[in-house]
Chain A
Amino acid sequence: MTLTPKTAPRPKVAVYKFSSCDGCQLSLLNLEDELLDLASAVDISYFLEATRTVKPGPYDIGIVEGSITTPHEAERIKDVRAECKYMIALGTCATAGGIQALRNFASVADYARTVYPHPEFLHFLDKSTSIAENVPVDLSIWGCPVNKFMVVEVIAALLQNRRPNFPPSPVCLECKRRGLVCVAVAHGTPCLGPVVHGGCGALCPANGRGCYGCFGPSSAANFSALVGSMTPLDRYPNETAGLLRSFSSHAPAFKSAAEAALKLSSEKEQK
Chain B
Amino acid sequence: MLDSTLNTGSTVALPKLELDALLADLRQNGFQTVGPRLQDESIVYREIEGLKDLPRGILSEQAPGSYRIIRTGKERYFDFIPAGQSWKQFLFPPRHTLFSATKDGTWQLKENDEPAPRYALVGVRACELAAIAVQDKVFMRPDFSDPIYRLRREGLFIIAVNCLDPDSTCFCTSMGTGPRLRSGFDLCLTELDDAFLVEIGSELGRSFLASRTYSLPSAFMQDAAARALTRAVESITRTLDTDGLPELLLNNLEAERWNDVGKRCLSCANCTQVCPTCFCWDATDAVDISGKNTRRERLWDSCFNPNYSYVFGGNTRPNIRSRYRQWLTHKLGTWVEQFGTSGCVGCGRCITWCPAKIDLTEEAAAIRREVAK
Contact residues of A between 207 and 247, Cβ < 8 Å to B: 208, 219-222, 224-226, 228-230
B302 touches A229 (CB 8 A): no
Give the CA-CA distance A221 to B304 in the complex, in Å: 11
Q: List A residues 12-57 near B (Cβ within 8 Å).
A: 34, 37-38, 41
A220 touches B267 (CB 8 A): yes
**B-chain residues with CB within 8 Å of residue A221 when the two chains form the complex:** 267
Contacts of B66 in A (CB 8 A): 185, 188
Alpha-carbon separation in the docked complex, A113 to B320 (Å): 48
Looking at A101-109, A136-144, A176-184, the stretch in contact with chain B turns out to be A176-184
Q: Which of A34, A191, A220 contacts B304 (CB 8 A)?
A: A220
CB–CB B266/A225 < 8 A: yes
Chain A residues 146 to 196 lying within 8 A of chain B, measured CB to CB, are 152, 155-156, 159-160, 162, 165, 168-170, 172-173, 176-182, 184-188, 191, 193-195
Partner of A225, one of B85, B94, B264, B300: B264
- Contact between chains at A169 and B39 (CB < 8 Å): no
In chain B, what residue has the closest Cβ to A226? B266
Binding site for B on A (CB under 8 A): 34, 37-38, 41, 152, 155-156, 159-160, 162, 165, 168-170, 172-173, 176-182, 184-188, 191, 193-195, 208, 219-222, 224-226, 228-230
A169 with B265, Cβ < 8 A, contacts A176-B300, A182-B353, A187-B41 known: no
When distances are taken between beta carbons in the complex, the residues of chain A under 8 Å from B353 are: 182, 185
A115, B68: Cα distance in complex, Å:
46
Please encode chain B, from 194 to 209, with 1 for each CB lying within 8 Å of some chain A CB and 0 for all others.
0000000000000000
Contact mask B296-311 → A, CB, 8 Å, 1/0? 0001111011110000
Ordered by A's residue number, 6 sampled pairs between the chains whose C-beta atoms are within 8 Å are: A165-B286, A173-B301, A181-B39, A182-B355, A195-B268, A230-B355
A to B contact number (C-beta, < 8 Å): 138
Residue numbers in A under 8 Å from B352 (CB-CB): 185
The CB with the most chain A CB atoms within 10 A, among B269, B301, B306, is that of: B269
| CB–CB A177/B356 < 8 A | no
The answer to whether B355 and A179 have CB atoms under 8 Å apart is no
Beta-carbon nearest neighbor of B323 in chain A:
A220
State whether B300 touches A181 (Cβ < 8 A). no
Minimum Cβ distance to chain A for residue B209 (Å): 30
Q: Is the CB of B266 within 8 A of A194?
A: yes
How would residues 90 to 112 of chain B score, 1 for a CB under 8 Å from any chain A CB and 0 otherwise? 00001100000000000000000
Q: How far is the CA of A34 from the CA of B286 in the complex (A)?
A: 14
Set of chain A residues within 8 Å of B65, measured between Cβ atoms: 184-185, 229
Q: Are B289 and A186 in contact (CB under 8 A)?
A: no
- Report the separation of the CA atoms of residues A41 and B265 in the bound assembly, to the nearest whole angstrom: 44
Question: In the complex, how many angstroms separate the beta carbon of B5 from the nearest chain A beta carbon?
Answer: 41
- Encode B225-266 as 1/0 by CB contact (under 8 A) with A: 000000000000000000000000000000000000001111
Residues of B within 8 A of A178 (CB): 94
A160 vs B294: C-alpha distance when bound (angstroms): 12
With a cutoff of 8 Å between Cβ atoms, the chain B residues found around residue A195 in the complex are 266, 268
Distance from A32 Cβ to chain B, minimum over Cβ atoms (Å): 14
Inter-subunit contact B287/A229 (CB<8 Å): no
B268 and A229 contacting across the interface, CB-CB below 8 Å: no
Q: In the complex, how many angstroms separate the beta carbon of A260 from the nearest chain B beta carbon?
A: 13
> Chain B's nearest CB lies how many Å from the CB of A221?
8
Q: When the two chains form their complex, are residues A172 and B291 in contact, meaning their CB atoms are under 8 A apart?
A: no
Q: Which 6 A-B pairs have the closest CB atoms?
A: A176-B273, A194-B268, A194-B266, A181-B40, A177-B94, A181-B42
Distance of A228 Cα from B355 Cα, bound (Å): 11
Please encode chain B, from 42 to 77, with 1 for each CB lying within 8 Å of some chain A CB and 0 for all others. Answer: 101000000000000000000001111100000000
Q: Are A173 and B41 in contact (CB under 8 A)?
A: no
Interface range for B? 35 or more
Which A residues are CB-close (under 8 A) to B41?
Answer: 181, 186-187
Task: Determine whether the beta carbon of A220 is less than 8 Å from that of B356.
Answer: no
Given known pairs A37-B288, A156-B291, A159-B289, the reply for A182 and B269 (CB within 8 Å) is no
**In the bound complex, what is the Cα–Cα distance between A153 and B221 (angstroms)?**
62
From B68, B274, B306, B355, contact of A220 by CB (8 A): B306
> Which residue from chain A places its CB closest to the CB of B41 in the assembled complex?
A186
Interchain CA distance A170-B41 in the complex, whole Å? 23
Chain B residues with CB under 8 A of A176: 84, 94, 269-270, 273-274, 300
Q: How far is the CB of A226 from chain B (nearest CB, A)?
A: 6
Q: Which residue of A lies closest to B273 (CB)?
A: A176
A contact residues around B299 at 8 Å (CB): 177
Does residue B83 face the partner (Cβ distance < 8 Å to A)?
A: yes
13 new A-B pairs (CB below 8 Å) besides A172-B269, A176-B94, A177-B273?
A38-B289, A156-B291, A159-B289, A173-B273, A176-B269, A177-B300, A179-B44, A182-B67, A185-B353, A220-B320, A224-B263, A225-B263, A229-B356
CB of B357 within 8 A of chain A?
A: yes
Residues in A neighbouring B267, C-beta threshold 8 A: 170, 194, 220-222
Q: Tell me whether B10 is interfacial, beta carbon within 8 Å.
A: no
Give the shortest distance, in Å, between B55 (CB) and chain A (any CB). Answer: 13
Complex Cα gap A155–B290 (Å): 11
Residue interface mask B280-296, A partner, CB < 8 A = 1: 00001111111100000
**Residue of B with least CB distance to A155:** B289
Most buried by A among B83, B291, B299: B291
In the complex, what distance in Å separates the CA atom of A230 from the CA atom of B65? 11
Q: How far is the CA of A168 from the CA of B307 in the complex (A)?
A: 7
* B89 is an interface residue with CB less than 8 A from chain A: yes
- A-chain residues with CB within 8 Å of residue B357 when the two chains form the complex: 229
The answer to whether residues A173 and B287 also contact, given A185-B353, A186-B68, A219-B306 and a CB cut-off of 8 A, is: no
Contacts of A152 in B (CB 8 A): 289
* Chain A residues within an 8 Å CB radius of B85: 179
> B94 touching A179 by the CB < 8 A rule?
yes
